[in-house]
Structure 1
């Protein structure tokens, strides 16, 4: 049992002693006024920080005022609905002007410079040469300072900081300045700490109070410096990610359609969305954080070593760094391959995310098929693979963390205490046989002890800081290893983007060397022409792959419609992909109109995120149609022409935002795609099974509408009934052969007339065949005599048991 009364007595005694101590300190403070040296470093740093803060505040205030004024002028100039703020416009100098909404009737204007396409073409050889050099050189075992990692980082660095005079350079230089500032402040704080301890031991209240004020003053610039480093770290990461993402988007989303080509190249890269979103962000965060996590310890090692060398001697510094290098070598040999582990984990996370995305995208179809069990099995498999790898990472990291923590925290701190105490143990003020007799000698001994205590506190703090700097430098090995994994993935993404960005990209070569010998002639005004073209699926075999259709050779003149007829999988859509430039043309000559004059309707209609208006005008924006002189009345007229005007009553108005792919029926989706054709009004449209979900009467109406609008169309279908709307027909057989017919020629018209006559003759014999069917049914029912009398047709003998036995 605890004696409560005794415990209370001790508490009252401690409180009494504390009051006496404070009373003595107050008396000392009254007798000795504290004098502050306004020229001291803490005061100057404090005042400088205040001035700098006020200067930055004034700068940002003026900038915000100017920004708001420019936005006010811009809003006044652009007196349009807020809906256009999401659009973008190409300026005369090639830059892109983007309007971003910032609230009700407010807009912000952002200018993105025009991409330098020549730079992308030049950068392509950097990645090619890197692959060639890696094939020649043997791979180094080390993952931190390997030539592969440094070479990859040097190439990517050209994207992060493209030129010296840029925003990221200023951020990086500012971060280096504050890192130096923080190390210098740490040195001042260590000296001030030793002085405070010395004054406390000497019971000098005046100096103690003065140094305590200095401590509070210097704490403000120190805190400001730490916050500035964190701020610049985040800003630098954002700047790196902005440059890298824009560089990727310029290649990924352009007229070459690299986003489609790279989706076919699954052998080299998978789940590209994981690369662009997650890997790029982690790479930029890790790289920007590495400057502070490695820069600060490295600067501390230099500054503190120079200062300690004067106090401890060169031998002690050599011993300290010898210990650092030995333990660093030990940890480096014991460090697992964190880069590979991190890269593998990111890949597995992408696979699991992709399975989840597939489930969300196709939830309705999976629901109809009752496929919950098999989808659950797939998700569990991908999740189990991820968890197994995470468990592996945890198990590998555990023994290394024990070794790392023991060496860096405790071993290095012990050596710090030993080296910091050397001056105290070695400095013998009085010989062993001499003893201080006089009061002056005793005061000198006491003063020297206080000085030794002060020096020990300073040395101890700096040694611990030095040990902490070295330990953080060793801890950063993990960050470097993780950065190695992220750098490899980002570099792999950029390499593949440069490969597919080439207009003559070949899937069969690791370096993208081309065996594509086909030629595409644009701006062909006399229809479309195929000359000895082979339709080949892009693959690692390249032009050696088996063609779907071989040696296509025909021409369709302007204002003539073509029907490409064939069964599923024969290569109809593949021809459209070659015309659109999605697939390479390995052999032959393709002559076609300008790409801006061709409109494609794929089998699966795509609906963008937005309102009903956006579904009609896709791929244009509302700002575009306003500049064209169109309005909602024009769009309503288009809906009436495709018999979809009831959507405005059903959905409300053009501004309604929904998930339209789930709202429209199959027929409505196809009529909406025809509405896009009417809005675009192209010279040529390619229809890939674009009317197979509508009724026959609506299909007739839509084709007649296109003919009325004088829009030339190429139809890909497996339905021969569509021949009546076309002038030419290309029949593709299953054995890769093909036949081309001119349906308007006299020979084909005669053959069609003959076929019609044959069908009419067969229709004339329908009654006779119906009578024959009736007689056979009566015969099967056993009415033999009635059949013979009525029809006078000789019928076979009735079935008997003997006949059956025979």
Structure 2
């Protein structure tokens, strides 16, 4: 007990000594500490002055302030000395159990005071350490993301190498999920390299100019916030002259502000247009090269509607990308500048605390945000399917009408439409709930945090800041409130942009998938759903193989399988040889591989095995049963696909074209229109089937290839016109390869390739006269055989009657 009494006496003497030393120190400091009446205002005018010239309330307030400052200093210093003495006492008492208990009952306020002193003394160092820590964390996160991206790219490259040269079914490769992942970043960077090919491109110049106006807009907004505070301050002070001056300055700054807004809108529209132009040109270059367009539609199942991808999705991607740059760059810049300005006004601690709360709520919102990117991709896919159903009805309108299938087609269209509408309604409901949550958090929760932050200079005296009067406090509050609203709006736009990023991810996925499929098709890799009859190991092994193609003057097939794109093997090993000058007739039942042979010869279908020797692509000309008539002039129908410039480069004139038409009896077409050769019309509707086939033959005479593939190209013309066509084609030195069932064409060919429809074939010389005689004899015998049952019945009747 005596020890405890001595300890209490020592504590009392220490506290009294600390109070006396604190008062002495405060008296010394008071000689150098200015009073409130001597403080110089923000505008260079003394706030204090003679008491006789000032209001009594102001004089009393200044006197109280002059006495309050030394008193507060003395109290703080006394508390500091008391805290040091208490620390010594606690360290001595900690040796015993009672001392530890006494230390546990120390006041919490003294600890807070000590921590506050420590923080204020090392504020700059702590701030610097926090910034360095955040920077290190950001660098670590970026490096980790980069390493993951490299690993993912290497993994994707290994998978593509493993799949090279194979055909996959629909189950082998599931549809990729649309999300903000490494695949999205890889696809987006690939498209960005197309949209902005280099820093010297026009697009890069537009981006730099756009960025300049974004920075200018932020600086103007910051200046407007300061001017708003100054205007409100002049209102509070009742200074009309100052108020009018501030209003005039506010009107003057509106000129560059509105000009900047217009330039931002103009740059955004131009960027969208430039992006779309770059992407469309790149896609057209690849889509219309090496027969890629045919491979997408006939040899591959992954892209169902390339027309919508090129015409619609590319446009939406370009608009979304241009808007996203403005909607992200401007808010990020605003947040950076406004946060720095707010930290100077209200202190960095409040900004950091508010940022942590905002980041926490933003993370919660991000977790609860639906996958809008996947929704957008699915909606675009359903839109494309619905559009494809309508275009299909247009293409097969005649067949549907003849079958009376309008009710069935209506059911199909209604099903596609209501599937789309169901998905759109689902998206609208998800957007409703997400928008409710987003608006509440961004507008009200963050707004309440902002009001608390703006009130800090009013209720709390910041270190290093002089005391403010009513006008200064009002100006500070209005300015901070305006900057906080701008910063909150910027953060809100960043949060809203997450949904825009998800939508951009959907468009990016669809456009990038088109580019990926085109790349694989150009490399000879296809994915087609196989028919059930081809699901054997032998057929699958054949589909995975690749033959060799060599350029030659003659045509030779050596053990080449004829395989359709869906995996149906028509001929397992076809071998024949045709020299230039020989003419081949291909016959057989439907679906036996006649047209398939010519598709392989024309390079439309891949060679799955064996060896093919054939002339170059430009040396083979193809004329189908239903000729293709392009949109253009009458001259264009004859010289297609050449242009007028190419025609003149070949030394062909309109008179030469007219002579070709006269051979086929088509010279009246030139005289039918006043424009002559330059007349344009919808030629498919104007010309009948027979006239179309004759125009296609005139096109053959113009190009004069070495080989011509004629696929039932004379089915709608008379025998006299057919004779003129073939005689003139042979006279031009064109080797003819004909698919036809007309016996009248046999005499124009030297060889025959006959398929039986069971996977077998016969290739031999063709003696037209002998074959005609044999065919005539065969037909006579068939007629007689059909009469045998009737003859037998008649014989039985005669026998019965006898």
Q: CA 1:293–1:616 in 2, change beyond 3 Å: closer, same or farther?
A: same
Tell whether 2:635 aligns with 1:645: no
CA distance, structure 2, for counterparts of residue 671 and residue 636 of structure 1: 13
Q: Which residue of 2 aligns with 1:663?
A: 686
Task: Assess if the C-alpha contact under 8 Å between 2:320 and 2:500 holds in 1.
Answer: yes
Once the two structures are superposed, residues 454-479 of structure 1 have per-residue CA deviations (whole angstroms, 9 ceiling, x without a partner) of 11110111111111111111111110
Tell whether 2:409 aligns with 1:409: no
Match 1:632 to one of 610, 632, 654: 654
Q: Which residue of 2 aligns with 1:731?
A: 754
CA distance, structure 1, for counterparts of residue 300 and residue 614 of structure 2: 30
Match 1:486 to one of 507, 513, 526: 507
Match 2:262 to one of 223, 227, 238: 227
Match 1:534 to one of 561, 575, 582: 561
CA distance, structure 1, for counterparts of residue 241 and residue 610 of structure 2: 95
Match 1:707 to one of 712, 724, 730: 730
Q: Which residue of 1 aligns with 2:584?
A: 562
CA positional deviation for 1:648: 3.0
Task: Assess if the C-alpha contact under 8 Å between 1:548 and 1:570 holds in 2.
Answer: yes
Q: Which has the larger radius of gyration?
A: 2
CA distance, structure 1, for counterparts of residue 558 and residue 727 of structure 2: 30
CA positional deviation for 1:481: 0.8
Q: Specify the SS of the correspondent of 1:654.
A: helix
Q: CA 1:663–1:759 in 2, change beyond 3 Å: closer, same or farther?
A: same
Q: Which residue of 2 aligns with 1:348?
A: 382
TM-score scaled to structure 1, two decimals?
0.72
Q: Which residue of 1 aligns with 2:571?
A: 549
Q: Which residue of 2 aligns with 1:336?
A: 370
Q: CA 1:759–1:481 in 2, change beyond 3 Å: closer, same or farther?
A: closer
Q: Which residue of 2 aligns with 1:147?
A: 182
Q: Which residue of 1 aligns with 2:221?
A: 186
- Where does 1:353-432 land on structure 2 (aligned, <5 Å)? 353-426=387-460
CA distance, structure 2, for counterparts of residue 759 and residue 575 of structure 1: 28
CA positional deviation for 1:557: 1.8
Q: Which residue of 2 aligns with 1:517?
A: 546
CA positional deviation for 1:565: 0.8
CA distance, structure 2, for counterparts of residue 760 and residue 179 of structure 1: 86
Q: CA 1:253–1:482 in 2, change beyond 3 Å: closer, same or farther?
A: same
Tell whether 2:582 aligns with 1:582: no
CA distance, structure 1, for counterparts of residue 557 and residue 497 of structure 2: 60
Q: Which residue of 1 aligns with 2:93?
A: none
Task: Assess if the C-alpha contact under 8 Å between 2:299 and 2:526 holds in 1.
Answer: no
Q: Specify the SS of the correspondent of 1:164.
A: coil
CA distance, structure 2, for counterparts of residue 754 and residue 487 of structure 1: 65
CA positional deviation for 1:499: 0.2
Q: Which residue of 2 aligns with 1:248?
A: 283
CA positional deviation for 1:663: 1.8
Task: Assess if the C-alpha contact under 8 Å between 1:134 and 1:148 holds in 2.
Answer: no
Tell whether 2:459 aligns with 1:454: no
CA positional deviation for 1:144: 6.1
CA positional deviation for 1:700: 2.5
CA positional deviation for 1:759: 7.8
CA positional deviation for 1:369: 3.6
CA positional deviation for 1:701: 2.7
Once the two structures are superposed, residues 658-687 of structure 1 have per-residue CA deviations (whole angstroms, 9 ceiling, x without a partner) of 221122211111111101101111111110
Match 2:490 to one of 469, 481, 484: 469
Task: Assess if the C-alpha contact under 8 Å between 2:754 and 2:762 holds in 1.
Answer: yes
Q: CA 1:226–1:144 in 2, change beyond 3 Å: closer, same or farther?
A: farther
CA distance, structure 1, for counterparts of residue 339 and residue 331 of structure 2: 12
More helix by share: 2
Task: Assess if the C-alpha contact under 8 Å between 1:293 and 1:476 holds in 2.
Answer: yes
CA positional deviation for 1:165: 2.4
CA positional deviation for 1:322: 1.4
CA positional deviation for 1:158: 2.4
CA positional deviation for 1:426: 3.1
Task: Assess if the C-alpha contact under 8 Å between 2:180 and 2:502 holds in 1.
Answer: no
CA positional deviation for 1:374: 2.1
CA distance, structure 2, for counterparts of residue 753 and residue 571 of structure 1: 24
Tell whether 2:798 aligns with 1:796: yes
CA distance, structure 1, for counterparts of residue 351 and residue 389 of structure 2: 56
Tell me whether 636-645 or 698-707 shows the greater mean CA deviation. 698-707
CA distance, structure 1, for counterparts of residue 203 and residue 161 of structure 2: 30
**Structure 1 alignment gaps of length 5 or more:** 1-124, 429-443, 540-544, 781-792
Q: CA 1:465–1:794 in 2, change beyond 3 Å: closer, same or farther?
A: closer
CA distance, structure 1, for counterparts of residue 346 and residue 590 of structure 2: 85
Match 1:717 to one of 730, 740, 745: 740
Q: Which residue of 2 aligns with 1:122?
A: none
CA positional deviation for 1:311: 1.1
Once the two structures are superposed, residues 515-563 of structure 1 have per-residue CA deviations (whole angstroms, 9 ceiling, x without a partner) of 44312121x22x3222211111134xxxxx4521232222122211110
**Structure 2 alignment gaps of length 5 or more:** 1-152, 164-173, 531-541
Q: CA 1:531–1:245 in 2, change beyond 3 Å: closer, same or farther?
A: same
Q: CA 1:759–1:471 in 2, change beyond 3 Å: closer, same or farther?
A: closer
Once the two structures are superposed, residues 347-399 of structure 1 have per-residue CA deviations (whole angstroms, 9 ceiling, x without a partner) of 00111111222233333443344332222222111111110100110111111
Q: Which residue of 2 aligns with 1:291?
A: 325
Task: Assess if the C-alpha contact under 8 Å between 2:625 and 2:715 holds in 1.
Answer: no
CA distance, structure 2, for counterparts of residue 153 and residue 457 of structure 1: 42
CA positional deviation for 1:721: 3.9
CA distance, structure 1, for counterparts of residue 178 and residue 586 of structure 2: 56
Tell whether 2:352 aligns with 1:318: yes
Q: Which residue of 1 aligns with 2:614?
A: 592
CA RMSD of aligned residues (A): 3.4
- Where does 1:99-248 land on structure 2 (aligned, <5 Å)? 129=157, 145-248=180-283
CA positional deviation for 1:706: 1.7
Task: Assess if the C-alpha contact under 8 Å between 2:584 and 2:738 holds in 1.
Answer: yes
Task: Assess if the C-alpha contact under 8 Å between 2:299 and 2:528 holds in 1.
Answer: no
CA distance, structure 2, for counterparts of residue 757 and residue 249 of structure 1: 53
CA distance, structure 1, for counterparts of residue 557 and residue 576 of structure 2: 5
Q: CA 1:225–1:265 in 2, change beyond 3 Å: closer, same or farther?
A: farther
- Where does 1:748-787 land on structure 2 (aligned, <5 Å)? 752=771, 755=774
Q: Specify the SS of the correspondent of 2:641.
A: coil
Q: CA 1:549–1:759 in 2, change beyond 3 Å: closer, same or farther?
A: closer
CA distance, structure 1, for counterparts of residue 162 and residue 487 of structure 2: 39
Q: CA 1:449–1:703 in 2, change beyond 3 Å: closer, same or farther?
A: same
Once the two structures are superposed, residues 726-755 of structure 1 have per-residue CA deviations (whole angstroms, 9 ceiling, x without a partner) of 0110001111111112125xxx87x54873
Q: Which residue of 1 aligns with 2:106?
A: none
Once the two structures are superposed, residues 548-595 of structure 1 have per-residue CA deviations (whole angstroms, 9 ceiling, x without a partner) of 123222212221111011111111110111011110111122212222
Tell me whether 413-422 or 650-659 shows the greater mean CA deviation. 650-659
Once the two structures are superposed, residues 598-630 of structure 1 have per-residue CA deviations (whole angstroms, 9 ceiling, x without a partner) of 111123311111122211111111222233233
Tell me whether 714-723 or 320-329 shows the greater mean CA deviation. 714-723
Q: Which residue of 2 aligns with 1:270?
A: 304
Task: Assess if the C-alpha contact under 8 Å between 1:732 and 1:739 holds in 2.
Answer: yes
CA distance, structure 2, for counterparts of residue 465 and residue 532 of structure 1: 74
Task: Assess if the C-alpha contact under 8 Å between 1:175 and 1:229 holds in 2.
Answer: yes
Tell me whether 150-159 or 667-676 shows the greater mean CA deviation. 150-159
Q: CA 1:265–1:410 in 2, change beyond 3 Å: closer, same or farther?
A: farther
CA distance, structure 2, for counterparts of residue 795 and residue 500 of structure 1: 70
Tell whether 2:638 aligns with 1:616: yes
CA distance, structure 1, for counterparts of residue 748 and residue 196 of structure 2: 58
Once the two structures are superposed, residues 327-356 of structure 1 have per-residue CA deviations (whole angstroms, 9 ceiling, x without a partner) of 111110110010100000000011111122
CA positional deviation for 1:142: 11
CA distance, structure 2, for counterparts of residue 714 and residue 362 of structure 1: 30
